[in-house]
Amino acid sequence: MLKPLLPAALLLATPLWAEAPRTVTDIGPVQGLVAAVMGDLGTPDVLVPKGASPHSHALTPSEARALQDAELVFWIGPDLTPGIGRKIEAIAGDAATVVLSEQPGTLHLASRDHVLFDERVPADEDDHDHDEADAADAHDDHDHAEDAGHEDHDDHDHAGGDPHLWLSPENAANWLPAIAGALAKADPVNAAAYRANAAAAQAALDDAVARAAARLAPVQEDRFVVFHDAYQYYERAFGLHVIGAIKLSDATDPSPARLDALRDAVAESGATCVFAEPQFDPRLIAAITEGAETKVAELDPLGLALAPGAGFYPALIEDLAERIATCAAH
């Protein structure tokens, strides 16, 4: 229902007041991007709460009701949240759905299924993969470390494509106009406000990326190990060198052979930092840092410690940069 319009003199500076569509997102980073585009017009709900795994979260009754009542749903896609994908099909009804991973121009990278990762790809190399088949082909073209061996393919569940697409600032920038377009279609009265908010969000993202790049420039020759292989898009964006991950997904435990190979790689490469995640098993970190002076710090691809809202996504990009650079500097 339309609310009374503001005086005409204010219309250029203030959005027209109409009821924004009830909007639901899958994870915190997507909620942050959508919140930035919605601005003061509304606040999107999020289906995966803090501390839950996107790969395996089962909706609570209140989350299911939010999805059922939604008019507009933004989510990464079924590779990240297969359970939520099934719920969207079952209970979202007539809601318009935007699958961000399917937006034209989205960068897709293949999942990494080796113990030790390939040499980093330069951040400015333009070889976007726009579907999983192309990503898999590109992955096969790389030379893998012969002494790393292959893990059992049950050690990952990403079906060939790395689903952590939100950690590419380039993807986020690509999605902002798509988010604005979907909101404008659902709420044409405030279309101009959504597009203006998306432009402002892009400017804030550009600033955050520039600051993160400056912070990370001194550590591009360092070697790192991560707990969960979620950072490939971020590595690529900022020219970082992660030599391996303790777990290829957060749903499986690493084999003893994997831990042995990583421990050797940490010792031989002089890795600067091993990055844990919230709720990690410290025994796994200890297993690969034994006998080495490698520092341990924490990274979080979902930004659990960050305040939700319009500033969330730029804050996530800078928070990761600060944590990486701080660990490397001490």
What are the structural domains of the chain?
Answer: 20-105+112-330 (3.40.50.1980)
Gap between the Cα atoms of 221 and 227, Å rounded:
20
For residue 116, the model assigns a pLDDT of: 82
Mean pLDDT computed over every residue of the chain: 84
Least confident of 48-57, 257-266, 270-279: 48-57
Query: Do 178 and 125 form a contact (C-beta atoms < 8 A)?
Result: no
**What is the percent of the chain with per-residue pLDDT over 70, rounded to a whole number?**
81
What pLDDT score does 5 carry? 38
Q: How many CB atoms lie within 10 A of CB 50?
A: 14
- What DSSP character marks residue 49? -
pTM comes to 0.83
Largest interatomic CA distance in the chain: 71
pLDDT given for residue 118 in this prediction: 60
Amino acid at 76: I
Helices and strands counted in the chain (H then E)? 10, 8
Q: Is 144 exposed, middle or buried (0-12, 13-18, 19+ CB in 10 A)?
A: middle
φ/ψ of 88, rounded to 5, equals -60, -45
Residue 132 has pLDDT above 70, yes or no: no
- Three-state SS string across 292-306, please? CCCEEEECCCCCCCC
Res. 100 pLDDT band, cuts 50 70 90: very high
What pLDDT score was predicted for residue 114?
79
Sort 205 into a burial class: Cβ within 10 Å, 0-12 / 13-18 / 19+. Answer: buried
Are 139 and 121 spatial neighbours (Cβ–Cβ below 8 Å)?
Answer: no
